[in-house]
Structure 1
Amino acid sequence: MATSSLLSRISEVASSAGGALLGRAQSLRLPGVGTASAKDSPEVAARRWRAVTVLTDRIGTGPDLPAPLAAFGDRIEVRTTPAPAGKGTELAARFTAPADATDERVGKLREALRQAKQLIETGEVLRIEPQPEGRRPETPQGRVLEGAAARAPKEGVL
């Protein structure tokens, strides 16, 4: 009985320590490596490529660049590469100067990438606000969703 209790306690302590270690490892980041982060300095944020995968093999990066990205002019550089496993093309963009990579402009660049993807794939920019069938119902859940959508960062979806 004592051995079983001791092994059970050792298992609990090991699980707790492993969970704490995993939690720390998940929040560990190297500057400029990995996914976008609100903690990045403007210099790192400017160097970071933002990308979307577009279900097509042809995307123009010159004069036929999609309008949402063309609006940035020479403040961004654009590249296209084949997407993994032949699943289309990866369209990526980043700012050419660190001064351009303010939080607001980074959000606008992410939005422009999403709009360019929609234009290329469907021929139009899809709207979700308000919902296509009308306004959200005035319920507590609807108000919470509206508030969350209004405060959502521009770096991505809620």
Structure 2
Amino acid sequence: MDLDHLIGRATGLAGGAGAALLRQLQHVRLPGAGQASATDAPEVAARRWRAVTVLREPADVDAAGLPAPLAALGDRIEVRTTPAPGDRGTELAARYRGTPGEEEIGDLRAALREAKALLEVGEVLRVDPQPHGTRAATPQGAALEGAAEAAPREGVL
């Protein structure tokens, strides 16, 4: 068995163990925090408010109007702004009026992150294309490329 095959096998086993641990953690109840929404019925989880904290006063966020990424979703969404806990700016939240699909939830998450960036700094920073070229064709490089591609919809790296 050559070294590359051995390293690839070890990487696969470690990834499988990590995925199994995350599946277990989705069902853990934390005192005072409840249970992960991943275990909710899909209809319930889809109707949740998604929110970001914007480091601006609520009056500034309201005066700026609906940011373009959220405005692009039109009247399919509800939007609310409230003062963030601990006097930390404004909580900008949105949810779909109906029951959205998984792809639409990803679109809403991406729109909220882009709206936050526009309200705080005036532009949305992008990491692609890579200024230094492409990553090496390794298992880790492929995993990083996949994560970077999914990040706008699923979360921040």
Question: Which TM-score bucket, shorter chain as reference?
Answer: 0.5 to 0.7
Preserved CA contact (<8 Å) 2:27 2:36? no
Structure 2 spans left out of the alignment, 5+ residues: 1-22
Residue 8 of structure 2 aligns with which residue? none
**C-alpha distance in 2, partners of 1:41/1:26?**
13
Residue 11 of structure 1 aligns with which residue? none
Shift of 1:73: 1.1
**C-alpha distance in 1, partners of 2:124/2:152?**
20
Shift of 1:106: 0.2
Shift of 1:94: 0.4
Q: How does 1:81-96 map to 2 (within 5 A)?
A: 81-96=82-97
Larger Rg: 1
Shift of 1:104: 0.4
Identity %: 58
CA-to-aligned-CA distance 1:115-158 (integer Å, 9 cap, x gap) = 00000011111102234x33343252433311333456823235
Q: How does 1:24-39 map to 2 (within 5 A)?
A: 27-28=27-28, 36-37=37-38, 39=39
- 1:125 aligned to 2:124? yes
Between the two proteins, the alignment pairs up a number of residues equal to: 128
Q: How does 1:8-157 map to 2 (within 5 A)?
A: 27-28=27-28, 36-37=37-38, 39-57=39-57, 58-60=60-62, 64-98=65-99, 101-131=100-130, 133-138=131-136, 140=138, 141-150=140-149, 154-157=153-156
Whichever residue aligns with residue 65 of structure 2, its letter is: D
Residue 10 of structure 1 aligns with which residue? none
Residue 9 of structure 2 aligns with which residue? none
Whichever residue aligns with residue 105 of structure 2, its letter is: V
Preserved CA contact (<8 Å) 2:52 2:113? yes
Q: Name the CA shift for 1:128/1:113 in 2 (closer, same or farther; >3 Å).
A: same
Preserved CA contact (<8 Å) 2:81 2:92? yes
Preserved CA contact (<8 Å) 1:81 1:90? yes
Cα RMSD (Å): 2.9
Preserved CA contact (<8 Å) 1:53 1:89? yes
**C-alpha distance in 1, partners of 2:76/2:41?**
18
Preserved CA contact (<8 Å) 2:110 2:152? no
Q: Name the CA shift for 1:52/1:76 in 2 (closer, same or farther; >3 Å).
A: same
Preserved CA contact (<8 Å) 1:46 1:97? no
Structure 1 spans left out of the alignment, 5+ residues: 1-22
**C-alpha distance in 2, partners of 1:75/1:145?**
33
Preserved CA contact (<8 Å) 1:77 1:93? yes
Whichever residue aligns with residue 82 of structure 2, its letter is: T
- Secondary structure of 1:125's counterpart equals coil
Preserved CA contact (<8 Å) 2:77 2:95? yes
Preserved CA contact (<8 Å) 1:51 1:113? yes
Preserved CA contact (<8 Å) 1:60 1:66? no
